[in-house]
Structure 1
Amino acid sequence: MHVFEGTVAEASVRLADPGFVAQCAKRYAAMHGRPPGGGELTSWSESWPALVRVLVAADLHDLHLLLEYELPGSSQRIDALLLGRRASHLVAVVVELKQWTFAAPHPVGTGMLMVGDREVLHPGRQVGGYVAYLNDWVPAELELKVRGMAFLHNASAELLGHLRAHATGGPSAVYPLLGADDFPEGAEVSLLAGRLQCADVEPADRQAVDGFLRARHRPSGSLLARVADTIEGHDGFRLIGDQDKARQTIHGAIEATVRETPGHVVAVTGGPGTGKTAIAARVLGDLCFKEGANPRLLSPSGTLTQQIARAVGDSARGLISTLTTTLPRGLRKDTSIVLLDEAHRARTDPLRRHSEFPDLFTRLIRECATLVLFLDERQIVRPSEGTTLDELSRLAQARGYTFAHIDLPTQFRCGGSRTYLDWIDALLTEDGRAPVWQGTDYDLAVAGSPAELEDWIADHHRAGCSARITAGFCWPWDSPSTPPLRPEVSISWTDETGDHLWQRPWNSGADGILAGTDTPGRAFWATDQGGHQQIGCVYTAQGMEYDYSAVILGEDITWTPNGWQARPEKSRDHALHGLPPRQYLRYALNTYRVLATRGTRGTRLYSTDSATQKQLRRLVIGAGRHP
């Protein structure tokens, strides 16, 4: 998909029309279901004319130009793509456009930069990624030769010099970084065309361009082999016991279904720590080894997607991606097997459906041969999300698909303590009738204050363990994405030593790896340096795990002799606003269950409500003796 397709000459004429960018924005909104952002519109208005001027000056009028070309199998877009021909080969030139006037080295990330408060890839590395992506996804029969460059039309010679020096010796150095000074007025046409990677490129005929646009993209064999090898050798995706048995059972279900006509659903259920994500990743790796494979690993959770993609590497882009409401491109009904992890987080809008079953799932199964979903019904935390085993079974039956169910009985989180998981499940049901804790195989206790929680977390962090604090969404979250973060989680209490106030920031909302020094981006709060200094929420903790977990229960749920009482008015989560107490309670209990099952070795609980805190202390008498 793209917002403009035509020759350079045609683009030059269209850009003279003041309404051209608005027309492209309208086409973008029709394709993506949302309008482009203001910054994006500004970029189009400034960068497109700058590019087309140098293309015209280089006498490349008849080359084909695509603006905002969406990569196959991905939601990522190339700013501009030139298409032409050299001898018998189709040639594509990737053009990354930047308006930068300033950039600084990234304090941590190799091949990355800071532009203001934004964390970005080096332009050369970005171009290289797009080139590699096209090589990995465009069908070999097109015989496409891919080149690339970055055009920083506002950059000074000094900035370009720094960026080129930053790229020296690395993969970013392969692709030229060009500025306005590289296209002086009156320069030889051949010189300009050479700098644009087009000196030997001739116009392609319409048939060749249409062949590129209509091609059914799929992952190449070399891409699948790289991803398979990485997953197979990654310690985080090793399976044991019931996990490996489930993996083999999934393959058996897949094999049994693909022998028949496409249209099959496999549901894999399991509680926290049963290894759903590890199994999904390992099955993806197994599928990548198969000849003619076309698998995908999707998750509605951007946090989980980014963590898996980082573990597997850049090659996995397109094979591993976040599922929102738009389906991945490049799926094929006859060959595609889609693994959907965290299916309970999928946006299924059960309260606003126009049909009996989730539109997202019905569209997805129409596009693939087999759909494998991993879910835990008690991790549904929003009314707009979720599905159930029963619903999936009925969907398969109604559509005439085969259906298989695999349950994962053994969990490997929380020290493998079935006692703790049973206890937390009993505690976080509506009646809250949990027994007094008597477990000896898991470190559980109730903290006397948030300061005590923080000291416990800090001690484990200094000992080299991973440890995090999470809380219910009961405090404002208006902080900027980058430091200094506001200390919005604010708790006061009184004890025998006097009055106290404890304040800490929520995790950063930044999308990148790093939001600032010792402040990871939201997707990496649970794993990266500095995350223990911010408070996480269910959206950054779900799907993650760490050694020690401290959980703050807010006043959105409080204990009474008749069980849990919901107080939706105490919640700051906009996704839950307006829910009646009984309905809110379901999502709140699921939320705290998620938060209380992240710790592999120990958990501390604390409630800001005095009656709830008293009840927790009564249930956990004498606990917390473990190191």
Structure 2
Amino acid sequence: MIIYKKTKKEFIDDMDQRIVGDFLREEIKFLMNRTTSDSEYRSWENSLSIMRTILDKPEIDDEIGVAIEYNLPRSNKRIDMVLSGINQEKERLLIIELKQWEKCEKVVEQDMIVRTYVAKNLREVTHPSYQAYAYGKFLDDFSEVVYSSENIEVQTCAFLHNYDVVKYPDIIDKQYEEYLHDSPLFFKTDYGKLREYIKDFIPRGDRAELISKIDEGQIRPSKSIQNYMRTIIDGKSDFMLLDDQKEVLEKALALSRKTKKDGKKRVLIIPGGPGTGKTLIALQLLSKAIQNDGNAIYCSKSEAVRNAFKKLILDGSKDKKYTKVTVDNLFYGTSKFSYLIKNQYDMTIVDEAHRVINRHQYTPKDRGYNNQIREIICESKFSVFFIDEKQIVTTKDIGTIEEIQRQARLEGVEDDRITVFDPLVSQFRSSGADDYINFVDYLLYDGEKSNLSFRNTFDFKIFDDVQEMYDAIVEKSKQNSARVLAGYCWNWISKKDKELLDIEIGNFKKQWNLENDKYFMLNNESINQIGSVHQVQGLEIDYAGVIIGPDLYSDGTDIKTDWTKRAKSDKSLINIKTETDNSLPLDVLEMKKDKIIRNTYNVLLTRAMKGCYIYCVDKNLSNLIKSKIFE
């Protein structure tokens, strides 16, 4: 969808009449039901005035096409400006990312990320060269008009018209050079250079014909990306499925084919506990859907999960640059569906669906349904939800089987097209780990008494000294992936003062890793800090050390919970920490608090594939677990 499309001459005339900003605001409200903020309006005025100056020269052909605010299909991303024209009979498209930035800092050990002020807050964001390059790569991979023609060339660049690169050179640091070559940057003193760049790439206009063709064309995966998915997912041993996982995959694909044949919207719910292969099935489903010409995406609310599996794919790729952009155009968060573009995806695969919420904090209240489940179903012909209700760990999490079914019905999906598979049971872990997971269920939820044979094959230990437990995990980390985790019972005081230590248990003192939560499971240095449930959910490691805080304790007979022992900085129990915060009956509130605490430790205690070491703040709990291990 393109909000504004004219020739260069018409664009300059509109700018001189000062009507472009108002036109954009009105069209966005009409077409997308989105209100434009005053700051966004001012950014249009500033950036477009400068682009008017750049283009208003006789060497830039009057017939060059100009598009503003091109909303990329499949995403909530918008390209600031697109120019189109002809060069030696080839059709050419130039994507220009416009930035108001005045300065930024490089972010070491994060690929193509910089730190700058956005909306008055210092944030880590994508480097503008990568951002523009990814837009171009999206068209190469998914626009049928572009990839089916050898006569179309797409180029990208970014223009930071307030940026003094001499004063703030981090943005052109060597770590970014790979993308700077293909998607160059222009700065506040580069008006002439950018004008020359445009003139050389598009010497003759086409009256925006190429822009119109792309906007009106089909969005579906190219053969090259289909083949690439076959290589990076199907061809990797990390993503191989066992027999019953393969059966689930084929059943899901069969439902997808039905939707393609009869055009009727469907919803599939696939339950499964820790380590049952939910994410691996999800990735295989994504690959197969794309290879079958499906417009499919993978989404998860957890950026940590998305980052981890992107890295796993990238580590096995020869062309990491191509792979990174391709994967970024396939992996999304769950907040992107609030524009309610009906049935724009053939298939949306929702991993960790139990973590879906009503509304992201940055999504305006007047946009969407204020329910991410229904928004996903609205925008997808076939929605697949992978879910584990025992991993709901905050009051904001709404992902239950019942809620997905309810939202599907609200979106008009009939009951015979809402399918719930039997829970996944086959594990990708050792049989010892399977029995250990059953033991955790027995402990936390009074499940069936488990087979304790896991003690022979799964390394499970209970420590009376937290430092000894930590040291043992550090030792394991030398040959294995290992992290130390804890319940959120200690305030995050180091957030404001990096010299402070958050977790203190006697002489044991450590910091939370919450500042770098998106990469906790990927960075080796994370072993020096303590992770929380929000950093590890959906991911697995060889060894986990778990500090069970005072919010889980024993009265000598049973395991109890105490929500008052949670840290004040913990937001997982927001709105139900007191009965006055919620209209629910007191007994229901207590059950919700109890469930969230138990689910939190269920997640923490089931991250490990080889061994789990635990330390309990409450000694009665430690003794109770020991007694159950040897009963």
Q: Deviations over 1:380-437 (max 9, x none)?
A: 22233233445556746745525251432122336643321111001112x6897896
The reply on whether 1:375 has 2:370 as its aligned counterpart is no
Distance 1:547 1:331, change over 3 A: farther
Picking from 519, 526, 529, the partner of 1:531 is: 526
Partner SS for 2:544: strand
Distance 1:37 1:461, change over 3 A: farther
Name the stretch that deviates more: 16-25 or 534-543.
16-25
Partner SS for 1:151: strand
Aligned residue runs from structure 1 range 127-206, under 5 A:
127-140=132-145, 144-156=152-164, 158=166, 166=174, 170-183=178-191, 193-197=195-199, 200-205=202-207
The reply on whether 1:446 has 2:462 as its aligned counterpart is yes
Partner SS for 1:548: strand
Picking from 346, 349, 353, the partner of 2:356 is: 346
CA distance in 1, matches of 2:448, 2:72: 52
Confirm or deny: 8 A CA contact 2:542 2:610 kept in the other structure: yes
Confirm or deny: 8 A CA contact 1:453 1:604 kept in the other structure: yes
Aligned residue runs from structure 1 range 225-244, under 5 A:
225-244=227-246
Residue type at the aligned position of 2:288: D
CA distance in 2, matches of 1:181, 1:603: 58
Picking from 587, 594, 604, the partner of 1:585 is: 594
Partner SS for 1:407: coil
Distance 1:414 1:538, change over 3 A: farther
Q: What TM-score do you get using the length of structure 2 for normalisation?
A: 0.78
Aligned residue runs from structure 1 range 21-32, under 5 A:
none
Q: What TM-score do you get using the length of structure 1 for normalisation?
A: 0.79
Question: Identity of paired residues, percent?
Answer: 24
CA distance in 2, matches of 1:405, 1:594: 22
Partner of 1:269: 271
Residue type at the aligned position of 1:52: R
Partner of 1:95: 96
CA distance in 2, matches of 1:269, 1:284: 18
More helix by share: 2
Partner of 2:570: 573
Distance 1:136 1:435, change over 3 A: closer
The reply on whether 1:474 has 2:489 as its aligned counterpart is yes
Instruction: Number of aligned residue pairs: give it.
Output: 585
Partner SS for 2:252: helix
Partner SS for 1:282: helix
Partner SS for 2:276: coil
What's the CA shift for 1:114?
A: 6.6
CA distance in 2, matches of 1:392, 1:162: 46
The root-mean-square deviation of aligned C-alpha atoms, in Å, is 4.2
Distance 1:86 1:472, change over 3 A: same
Partner of 1:384: 396
Picking from 346, 351, 356, the partner of 1:336 is: 346
Picking from 537, 543, 547, the partner of 2:538 is: 543
Confirm or deny: 8 A CA contact 1:253 1:404 kept in the other structure: no
Partner of 1:52: 52
Distance 1:105 1:402, change over 3 A: closer
Distance 1:456 1:154, change over 3 A: same
Confirm or deny: 8 A CA contact 2:7 2:207 kept in the other structure: no
Partner of 2:504: 491
Residue type at the aligned position of 1:537: S
CA distance in 2, matches of 1:467, 1:213: 48
CA distance in 1, matches of 2:22, 2:573: 35
CA distance in 2, matches of 1:25, 1:454: 56
Residue type at the aligned position of 2:531: G
Partner SS for 2:456: coil
Residue type at the aligned position of 2:154: V
Distance 1:562 1:152, change over 3 A: closer
Confirm or deny: 8 A CA contact 1:155 1:179 kept in the other structure: yes
Picking from 409, 412, 425, the partner of 2:441 is: 425
Partner of 2:582: none
Unaligned runs of 5+ in 2: 314-322, 360-368, 577-588
CA distance in 1, matches of 2:372, 2:112: 36
CA distance in 1, matches of 2:42, 2:490: 35
Confirm or deny: 8 A CA contact 2:357 2:399 kept in the other structure: no
Partner SS for 2:97: strand
What's the CA shift for 1:267?
A: 2.2
Partner SS for 2:606: coil
Confirm or deny: 8 A CA contact 2:340 2:375 kept in the other structure: no
CA distance in 2, matches of 1:328, 1:148: 26
Partner of 1:365: 377
Confirm or deny: 8 A CA contact 1:348 1:387 kept in the other structure: no
Name the stretch that deviates more: 559-568 or 294-303.
559-568
Q: Deviations over 1:490-545 (max 9, x none)?
A: 2233xxxxxx3x33222243xxxxxxxxxxx4222112221212221111111101
Partner of 2:307: 306
Partner SS for 1:574: coil
Distance 1:25 1:247, change over 3 A: same
Partner of 2:612: 603
Q: Deviations over 1:142-187 (max 9, x none)?
A: 9653222232334557579997784898453134433344435xxx
CA distance in 2, matches of 1:614, 1:28: 62
Name the stretch that deviates more: 274-283 or 523-532.
523-532
Unaligned runs of 5+ in 1: 185-190, 350-356, 494-499, 510-520, 623-627
Confirm or deny: 8 A CA contact 1:264 1:371 kept in the other structure: yes
Distance 1:318 1:611, change over 3 A: same
Distance 1:136 1:584, change over 3 A: same
Distance 1:364 1:577, change over 3 A: closer
Picking from 318, 322, 331, the partner of 1:320 is: 331
Confirm or deny: 8 A CA contact 1:73 1:328 kept in the other structure: no
